[in-house]
């Protein structure tokens, strides 16, 4: 992890084009979002296709606080994260309490995102409705000023910010080693986990809340970077799906899965969009969808599972049993 | 005089209109092996589910070492020192055997590394140390049963509730499993639900018999084997005259 | 006024029910969530649109083309995408993601081929209404409602009275037992999936004269169809009908009383509550999965 972070820090000093920097920012953004999504949906196996709800809550909270009270987005994102946690509790508690699993949980998550979506449109006096909201531009005067307002004229500072977010996200996930094991056990068999002394609801709710908090903070970053949000882009199904996709393609329930997925998918989509998007709108997403379906069919556990599959094949060929105890998922 | 460690008093449980457990009372003494037998549908597994909190009881009380445990959730009951196995073994299929055991060690370990240090020891007890890297989904019936027992042991319980650990095993495998259970008895109290009479009569210190959710007999294995009500429950109402 | 709202609500509900019947069938029997459901609807609507504008084929007649075509598409999609995922670890999650990806593919295919324009056709029913005891009924929607009732009756007959229907019900209740009884589960799955897709194709045909067609029209109907399926109960066709009617009524009333967005929020909240307290739906009898 440290080496990877170092490499990415070195990348910062490379003379890259604006487009390349943009791709890097987006990639890290989705790596971070996927890491947040992964905590609840990958490790605990509760597939949410409505995580955009929490992104939107985070984004709108910090944006509203900034435009009405000039509150720095740094505090705004904490506030947004907390509101997202509250929203998550409203849905997570009854979901886990009533034992909503499998497709039922997924449908509930989609419904929550839809509700947030419609409420954002309905509250047009505050949120601008489906026309969306722009981030009030503050002219860059001093570095301190830019930092406080989390607004920069170039892409480079955003790169550093999202690199930091992503690192913290990975670190948080990594530090939760015990919880990760519990969540995996709960995913595999809830009753068996409970019988072994694992509190199912407590661990699920912890995972759900941290997950919501993380993607809500990502929402604030989205606002600051794109300077414009609307309900369709930030509470819509596509964003929810994208968070899930980077994690699933990379390998959900593994520490680096979402990051691997993001580094593979996002540059690919963006380059496809650049080269094909102008001539034939939709072609890049069409190819993206096909890639996804093929990946799910042939590599359902994601790219992170490849080494394991290769090792298993090798072990079968060699006929040598490995007696080494597993060192856990890392 | 044996020391009472678990007291089940007048517990009832019904599902819909069906009375699955009807006013059942019994004690478990420290260090004994208590066998629970009964025909299919007698409510044996239900009793386990009630003791370990998977279902709430409708009435009655369950007391473990002077503490009421009815109403507690399964994980809390496990923390107090009562662990059960499941009739249909429940390995975590996507985790390796070592991780299966690790997960079971974790709740009572102060640090993850402490739990990890314990894994090998547990694997050896249930003879799965050569299978540490195999996935839970890829085990044979015997290995599944062993893993199920291993996971329960990893929680370091005082009372171990074993639900049909012999089902599906070959006679030789059963003998191994019986040896293992006898070994465990040295440090633990064991309650065992079992279909295989040879096993239960052999290893139990005491036996209680359930039929239609009620306790119909309690005693030493020898007494149970000669008990008319038990024979009747197993062989049907007409059997009494011939017996 | 009140009667008018109820009547429009019922007609809308009938259409929703028709849209959700195919989803219900697939969800109830194969136990998979087809997130591309609405996008198949969209494809059928485009099909109808072009059959009318290019070939001059009346929308109601194009059923004869769309329905069999969608049976074939259904078989193909099942063989290529769904079947490889069945019976493996995490089937539920993977089929959800695969069908979401499929939906993505279909939406963008439509965008590539036909741009994001809103399209509508005018038939001799467009704009017409029937007046019945002072209540105005949109002609297109009335016919859609009639078709919906006919489909429901036919489906009920097939499921309850024919041998294939019995097999489908057996598979839906217990796959293993059905296999033991010599039922070819794979065949039933293929049949169910193909038929479910064809039914949503039919719904697309019926909708085209009264709704706009655009690449993401499926998303709107998708949510609605899921709400109705869960509301009415999995595998319960009466439930789907009742669920459709309830949602139609809610939308109709809330549309008049409050705003369109609040109507949606209200439907979704009811959906969540039903999911929590009664996941088997109002009419469903199967236990929690």
Helix/strand/coil for A308: helix
Helix/strand/coil for C237: helix
- pLDDT level of residue C282 (50, 70, 90 thresholds): low
Residues of C in contact with A49 (CB under 8 A): 35, 96, 100
- Rounded to whole angstroms, the Cα distance separating B221 from B198 reads 11
Q: Which two tokens stand for residue B6?
A: 């678990």
- Mean pLDDT along residues A113-118: 93
User: Which letter, b or e, does each residue of A83-120 get, where b requires 16 or more Cβ atoms within 10 Å of its Cβ?
Assistant: bbbebbeebbebbbebebbbbbbbbbbbbbbbbbbbbb
Instruction: State the total domains in chain B.
Output: 1
Closest-CA residue of chain C to A243:
C97
What are the tens digits of pLDDT across the range B164-210? 888 888 888 888 889 889 989 989 999 999 888 888 888 999 999 99
**Cβ-based contacts under 8 A for chains B and C:** 3
Find residue B219's DSSP bridge partners: B207
Cβ-defined contact of A195 to B112 (cutoff 8 Å): no
The one-character DSSP state at B135 is B
Instruction: Give ipTM to 2 decimals.
Output: 0.87
> What Cα–Cα distance (Å) separates residue B96 from each residue in A176, A183, A241?
20, 15, 30
Of all helices (H) and strands (E), which one includes residue B217?
Answer: strand B214-219
- pLDDT level of residue A209 (50, 70, 90 thresholds): very high
Residues of C in contact with A95 (CB under 8 A): 276
Cβ-defined contact of A103 to C33 (cutoff 8 Å): yes
- Mean pLDDT along residues A45-70: 93
Closest-CA distance, B129 to chain C, in angstroms, reads: 25
Q: Is B174 within the bounds of a domain?
A: yes
Find residue B29's DSSP bridge partners: B4
The one-character DSSP state at C128 is -
Domain that holds residue B23: 4-90+160-242
pLDDT, residue B243, reads: 36
Please say whether the beta carbons of C195 and C70 come within 8 A. no
Distance of CA C236 to the CA centre of its chain: 13
What are the tens digits of pLDDT across the range C131-181? 777 777 777 788 888 888 888 888 888 888 888 888 888 888 888 888 888
Please say whether the beta carbons of B156 and A196 come within 8 A. no
Q: Give all chains having 3 or more CB-to-CB distances under 8 Å with chain B.
A: A, C
Instruction: Of C192, C196, C274, give the one whose Cα is nearest residue A104.
Output: C274
- Rounded to whole angstroms, the Cα distance separating C35 from C102 reads 8
What are the tens digits of pLDDT across the range B53-85? 999 999 999 999 989 999 899 999 999 999 999
What are the tens digits of pLDDT across the range A62-79? 999 999 998 999 999 999
- Rounded to whole angstroms, the Cα distance separating B31 from A46 reads 41
Residues of C in contact with B93 (CB under 8 A): 89
Q: Is B72 within the bounds of a domain?
A: yes
Find residue A329's DSSP bridge partners: none
* A54 pLDDT higher than 70: yes
Closest-CA distance, A238 to chain C, in angstroms, reads: 9
For a pLDDT cut of 90, what percent of chain B falls above it?
44
Q: Give all chains having 3 or more CB-to-CB distances under 8 Å with chain C.
A: A, B
Helix/strand/coil for C288: coil
* A320 pLDDT higher than 50: no
pLDDT, residue C279, reads: 65
pLDDT, residue C283, reads: 53
Class of domain C2-277: mainly alpha
Q: What share of chain B is helix, strand, coil (3-state, %, to 5)?
A: 40, 25, 30
- pLDDT level of residue B242 (50, 70, 90 thresholds): very low
* A46 pLDDT higher than 80: yes
The one-character DSSP state at A320 is -
What are the tens digits of pLDDT across the range C170-208? 888 888 888 888 888 889 999 999 999 999 999 999 888
Phi-psi region for residue B2, left (φ > 0), alpha (ψ -120 to 50) or beta? beta
pLDDT, residue B109, reads: 87
Strands A228-229 and A133-134: antiparallel
For a pLDDT cut of 90, what percent of chain A falls above it?
48
- pLDDT level of residue C88 (50, 70, 90 thresholds): confident
Residues of C in contact with A115 (CB under 8 A): 265, 268-269, 272
User: Whose structure tokens read 């291993």?
Assistant: B150
- Rounded to whole angstroms, the Cα distance separating C23 from C33 reads 8
- Rounded to whole angstroms, the Cα distance separating B132 from B102 reads 11
User: Among partner residues B95, B98, B152, which is closest to A188 by beta-carbon distance?
Assistant: B95
- Rounded to whole angstroms, the Cα distance separating C29 from C183 reads 14
pLDDT, residue A298, reads: 86
Q: Is B201 within the bounds of a domain?
A: yes
Distance of CA A219 to the CA centre of its chain: 10
User: At how many degrees (to 10) do helices A73-97 and A52-69 cross?
Assistant: 150
Residues of B in contact with A177 (CB under 8 A): 112
User: Which letter, b or e, does each residue of C73-88 get, where b requires 16 or more Cβ atoms within 10 Å of its Cβ?
Assistant: bbbebbeebbbebbee
Strands B33-37 and B189-193: parallel
For a pLDDT cut of 90, what percent of chain C falls above it?
22
* B147 pLDDT higher than 70: yes
User: Which letter, b or e, does each residue of C110-135 get, where b requires 16 or more Cβ atoms within 10 Å of its Cβ?
Assistant: bbbebeeeebebebebeeeeeeeeee
Asked if C54 has any chain B CB less than 8 Å from its own CB, the reply is no
* DSSP letters for C178-236: HHHTT--HHHHHHHHHHHHHHHHHHHHHHHTTTS-B-TTHHHHHHHHHHHHHHHH-TT-
Instruction: Of A236, A199, A204, give the one whose Cα is nearest residue A91.
Output: A204
Q: Is B151 within the bounds of a domain?
A: no
Closest-CA distance, A293 to chain B, in angstroms, reads: 22
Q: Between A329 and A205, whose confidence is greater?
A: A205
pLDDT, residue C286, reads: 43
- pLDDT level of residue A318 (50, 70, 90 thresholds): low
Give the torsion through C-alpha atoms of A282, A128, C100, A249, to 10 deg.
80
pLDDT, residue B235, reads: 66
pLDDT, residue A226, reads: 93
- Give the best residue of A50, A91, A107 to mutate against chain C (max C CB count within 10 A): A107
HSE value, Cβ hemisphere, 13 Å, CA-based, for A195? 34
Alpha helices by DSSP H, listed for A123-252, are 124-127, 143-149, 156-175, 177-188, 190-195, 200-226, 231-234, 237-250
- Mean pLDDT along residues A74-101: 91
Q: Where residue B232 sits, what CATH number does that domain have?
A: 3.40.50.300
Please say whether the beta carbons of B243 and B231 come within 8 A. yes
What are the tens digits of pLDDT across the range C211-261? 889 988 888 888 888 888 887 776 666 777 788 888 888 877 777 777 778
> What Cα–Cα distance (Å) separates residue C41 from each residue in B21, C221, C267?
52, 8, 21
Mean pLDDT, chain A, rounded, equals 87
- Rounded to whole angstroms, the Cα distance separating C113 from C118 reads 13
Please say whether the beta carbons of B60 and B46 come within 8 A. no
Cβ-defined contact of C289 to A101 (cutoff 8 Å): yes
* DSSP letters for A57-81: HHHHHHHHHHHHH---HHHHHHHHH
| Cβ neighbours, 10 Å, residue B236 | 10
Asked if A308 has any chain C CB less than 8 Å from its own CB, the reply is no
> What Cα–Cα distance (Å) separates residue C96 from each residue in A47, A103, A245?
9, 8, 11
| Cβ neighbours, 10 Å, residue C2 | 8
Mean pLDDT, chain C, rounded, equals 84
């Amino acid at each position: 992890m440290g080496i990877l972070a170092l490499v990415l820090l070195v990348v910062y000093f490379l003379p890259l084009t604006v487009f390349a920097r943009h791709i890097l920012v987006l990639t890290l953004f989705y790596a971070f979002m996927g890491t947040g999504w992964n905590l609840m949906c990958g490790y605990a196996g509760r597939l949410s296709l409505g995580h955009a709800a929490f992104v939107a809550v985070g984004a709108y909270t910090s944006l509203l606080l900034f435009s009405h009270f000039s509150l720095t987005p740094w505090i705004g994102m904490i506030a947004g994260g907390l509101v997202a946690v509250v929203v998550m509790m409203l849905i997570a508690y009854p979901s886990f309490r009533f034992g909503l699993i499998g497709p039922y949980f997924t449908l509930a998550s989609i419904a929550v995102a839809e509700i947030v979506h419609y409420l954002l449109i309905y509250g047009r006096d505050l949120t601008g409705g489906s026309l969306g909201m722009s981030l009030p531009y503050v002219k860059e005067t001093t570095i301190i000023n830019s930092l406080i307002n989390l607004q920069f004229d170039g892409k480079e500072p955003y790169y550093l910010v999202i690199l930091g977010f992503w690192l913290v996200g990975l670190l948080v996930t990594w530090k939760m080693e015990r919880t990760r094991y519990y969540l995996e056990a709960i995913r595999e068999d809830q009753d068996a986990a409970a019988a072994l002394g694992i509190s199912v609801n407590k661990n699920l709710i912890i995972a759900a809340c941290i997950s919501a908090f993380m993607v809500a903070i990502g929402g604030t970053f989205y606002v600051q970077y794109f300077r414009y949000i609307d309900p369709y882009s930030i509470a819509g199904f596509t964003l929810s799906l994208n968070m899930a996709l980077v994690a699933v393609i990379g390998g959900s329930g593994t520490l680096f899965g979402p990051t691997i997925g993001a580094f593979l998918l996002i540059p690919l989509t963006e380059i496809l969009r650049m080269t094909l998007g102008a001539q034939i709108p939709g072609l890049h997403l069409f190819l993206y969808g096909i890639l996804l379906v093929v990946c799910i069919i042939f590599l359902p556990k994601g790219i992170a599972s490849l080494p394991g599959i290769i090792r298993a094949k090798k072990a079968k060929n060699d006929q040598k049993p490995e007696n080494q105890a597993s060192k856990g998922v890392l | 005089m044996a020391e009472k460690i678990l007291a089940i008093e007048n517990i009832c449980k019904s599902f819909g209109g069906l009375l699955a457990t009807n006013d059942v009372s019994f004690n478990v003494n420290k260090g004994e092996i208590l066998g629970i037998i009964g025909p299919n549908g007698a409510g044996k597994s239900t009793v386990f589910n009630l003791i370990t909190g998977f279902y709430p009881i409708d009435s009655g009380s369950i007391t473990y070492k002077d503490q009421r445990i009815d109403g507690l959730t399964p994980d809390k009951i496990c923390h107090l020192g009562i662990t059960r196995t499941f009739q249909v073994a429940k390995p975590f299929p996507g985790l390796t055997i070592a991780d299966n055991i690790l997960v079971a060690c974790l709740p009572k370990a102060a640090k993850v590394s402490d739990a990890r240090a314990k894994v090998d020891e547990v694997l050896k007890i249930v003879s799965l140390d050569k299978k540490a890297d195999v996935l839970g989904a890829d085990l044979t019936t015997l290995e599944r049963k062993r893993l199920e027992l291993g996971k329960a042991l990893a929680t370091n319980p005082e009372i171990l509730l074993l639900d049909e650990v012999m089902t599906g095993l070959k006679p030789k495998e059963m003998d191994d499993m019986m040896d293992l259970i006898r070994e465990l008895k040295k440090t633990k109290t064991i309650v065992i639900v079992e279909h295989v009479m040879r096993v239960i009569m052999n290893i139990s210190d005491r036996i209680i018999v359930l039929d239609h959710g009620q306790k119909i007999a309690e005693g030493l294995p020898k007494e149970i084997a000669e008990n008319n009500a038990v024979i009747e429950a197993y062989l049907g109402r007409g059997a009494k005259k011939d017996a | 006024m009140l009667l008018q709202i109820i009547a429009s609500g019922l007609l809308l509900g009938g259409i929703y029910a028709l849209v959700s019947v195919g989803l219900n069938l697939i969800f109830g029997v194969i136990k998979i969530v087809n997130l591309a459901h609405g996008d198949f609807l969209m494809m059928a609507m485009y099909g109808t649109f072009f059959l009318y504008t290019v070939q001059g084929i009346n929308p109601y007649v194009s059923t004869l083309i769309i329905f069999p075509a969608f049976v074939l598409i259904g078989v193909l999609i099942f063989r290529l995408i769904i079947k490889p995922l069945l019976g493996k670890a995490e089937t539920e999650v993977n089929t959800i993601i695969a069908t979401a990806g499929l939906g993505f593919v279909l939406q963008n295919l439509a965008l590539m081929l036909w741009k994001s324009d809103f399209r509508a056709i005018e038939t001799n029913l467009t704009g017409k209404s029937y007046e019945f005891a002072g209540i105005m009924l949109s002609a297109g929607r009335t016919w859609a409602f009639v078709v919906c009732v006919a489909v429901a009756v036919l489906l009920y007959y097939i499921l309850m009275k024919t041998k294939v229907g019995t097999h489908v019900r057996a598979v839906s209740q217990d796959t293993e037992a059905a296999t033991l009884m010599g039922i070819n589960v794979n065949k039933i799955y293929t049949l169910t999936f193909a038929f479910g897709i064809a039914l949503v194709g039919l719904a697309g045909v019926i909708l085209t004269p009264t709704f706009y067609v655009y690449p993401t029209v499926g998303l709107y109907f998708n949510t609605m169809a899921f709400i109705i399926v869960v509301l009415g109960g999995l595998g319960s066709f009466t439930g789907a009908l009742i669920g459709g009617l309830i949602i139609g009524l809610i939308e109709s009333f809330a549309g008049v009383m409050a705003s369109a967005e609040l109507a949606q929020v209200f439907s979704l909240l009811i959906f969540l509550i039903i999911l929590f307290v009664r996941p088997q739906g109002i009419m469903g009898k199967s236990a929690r999965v």
